[in-house]
Structure 1
Amino acid sequence: MSGPRGGAVVTGAGGGLGRLIAALLVERGHRVLVTDVNGDAARATADGLGASWAAVDVRDEAEVDAARDRIVAEAGRLDVWVNNAGVLATGPAWEQQPATRRLMLEVNALGTVNGTVAAIEAMRSAGGGHVVNIVSLAGLTAVPGEAVYAASKHAAIGFSLSTLADLRLAGIEEIDISCVCPDGIWTPMLHDKLGDPASALSFSGRLLRPEEVVEAVRKVLDRPRPVTAVPGWRGVQARLADAVPGLGLRALPLAVAQGRWVQRRMLARSRRRGGRPED
């Protein structure tokens, strides 16, 4: 969109990747509303960026709609909505508590639905906008040890692409939806998974720096794309495995073994460093 920047909302922005995405949007001239289920974390991020903040549980449609209405009131219109909030728990689905399975599905899938629908309603009135959904490579292929998480991310991509198709069929060209699907990101959360065999596949490729994912977000903001894998070659690998699932499933034990080897090596280094994550 041309002219002065309008408002932007980032969910799950109390820290980590969400905080960096919020900083990017502030840098680009948007008035940003930082949201997180942890209100104190949202406020700390917002104070550091000169942004607004709100405690929002993305599972609650009313709270999501209230965040949308607030940014429209503050900025005049909504230009960008980033669905970043997410929850990951590992292990076979049958070993997880029902509440854990429900939490992942509701935050990762329903939260994306709630945010996207809320944003579209405002963007249709304003003449356009861009929804960016932070998904995962787990949304593109099978991920042992993360079955429910993968299901929630497959749902997020399926919803995003289908809603984009609905927009185009309705003749709405001014609203874009882009899914950014990163591989494992080296954050404190992933550091905590070094000893978790169920997380091995996240370590089977090159671990990403959060800044690399932020750069991917920057690129899709400038040039919307329905699906962007980070890195691109891992996206191709995931798509091939999904296209020939029998072959992909047979190859997974090798990838898991590679990930376990990386976990053990990094865990040993971490212990030598006194338990601190590697840079």
Structure 2
Amino acid sequence: MRRPTGRAAREPGGAVVTGAGRGLGRRIAGLLVARGHRVLLTDRDGDSARAAAEELGGAATALAVDVRDQGQVEAARDAALDLAGRLDVWVNNAGVLVTGPAWEQDEATRRLMIEVNACGTINGTVAAIDAMRGNGGGHVVNVVSLAGLTAVAGEAVYAASKHAALGFSLSTMADLRVAGVRDIRISCVCPDGIWTPMLHDKLRDPRSALSFSGRLLTPEEVADAVRRVLDRPRPVTSIPRWRGALSRLADAAPTAGLAAIPLMAARGRRVQRKILAGGGPRAGK
């Protein structure tokens, strides 16, 4: 791995955003470009990453990366160092959601979610730490989900992958502190359902109803939460906060939380029907 040559501490360095070809990742990449970073947009779909980078201008470039492959992730790390000489920010945003009970999903589907959502986050975080440690530090932001905080009917394997990502992030932050590393921060952003292509595709799927039971967030709202975390690091940020508090309460009292899930799922299905009927993403809110 090429080591950075060093720059003035106040000058923004490089940044990497995974899953940046569209939706939330694209918005986060735009935020980082606006903050002065040289940004590498990665996506398994290299064409979408390149198109997004072209829209963002000369401070952005793209690379096709499958976050499940450690070698490809390390290549992204090295490319970001080549661009800017130092890595300041790494955002693990790539994610996959397939709904349905675990017993209805084949092994390949279950493995896909675990490997992208959990192992991909691990690969990116470790690569970022390797570039940042002893080289000015930096900030890793992991886009998790409220599904990483509590039970989610219809999304068991997805929730498992997000619980893993959250547990890994906090435990790695603890490891950094035990090792005396204080200039690397890890933050988890846990949003409710986001009105992106991934959720658009679930409108007719009643098994994804819980994702529609709150107020659907815009990519801009979540990107703004990432901005706030970069300015004022926090280990875990839920969006909106009240849904995060409700999720933690349900997790603390699982019997009551599980009993409430059918009611919330019914609400989510009503919202799905209203949106399909032309009510828009805020239908029922």
Scaled by the length of structure 1, what TM-score is found?
0.96
Equivalent residue runs for 1:1-279 within 5 Å: 2-50=9-57, 51-269=60-278
Match of 2:4 in 1: none
What is the aligned length? 274
Q: Where has structure 1 moved over 4 Å in runs of 4 or more? A: 276-279
Unaligned runs of 5+ in 1: 271-275
Q: Deviations along 1:80-104, whole A, 9 cap, x unmatched?
A: 0000000000000110111111000
Distance in 2 of aligned mates of 1:3 and 1:102: 41
Cα RMSD, aligned residues only:
1.4
Scaled by the length of structure 2, what TM-score is found?
0.94
Cα deviation, residue 192, structure 1: 2.2
Unaligned runs of 5+ in 2: 1-7
Asked if the contact 2:153/2:207 (under 8 Å) is kept, the reply is yes
Distance in 1 of aligned mates of 2:197 and 2:12: 33
Q: Deviations along 1:218-241, whole A, 9 cap, x unmatched?
A: 000001110000000000000000
Asked if the contact 2:150/2:250 (under 8 Å) is kept, the reply is yes
Distance in 2 of aligned mates of 1:264 and 1:28: 39
Cα deviation, residue 106, structure 1: 0.1
Cα deviation, residue 210, structure 1: 0.9
Distance in 2 of aligned mates of 1:74 and 1:211: 26
Deviates more, 1:184-193 or 1:46-55: 184-193
Asked if the contact 2:216/2:281 (under 8 Å) is kept, the reply is no
Cα deviation, residue 277, structure 1: 7.0
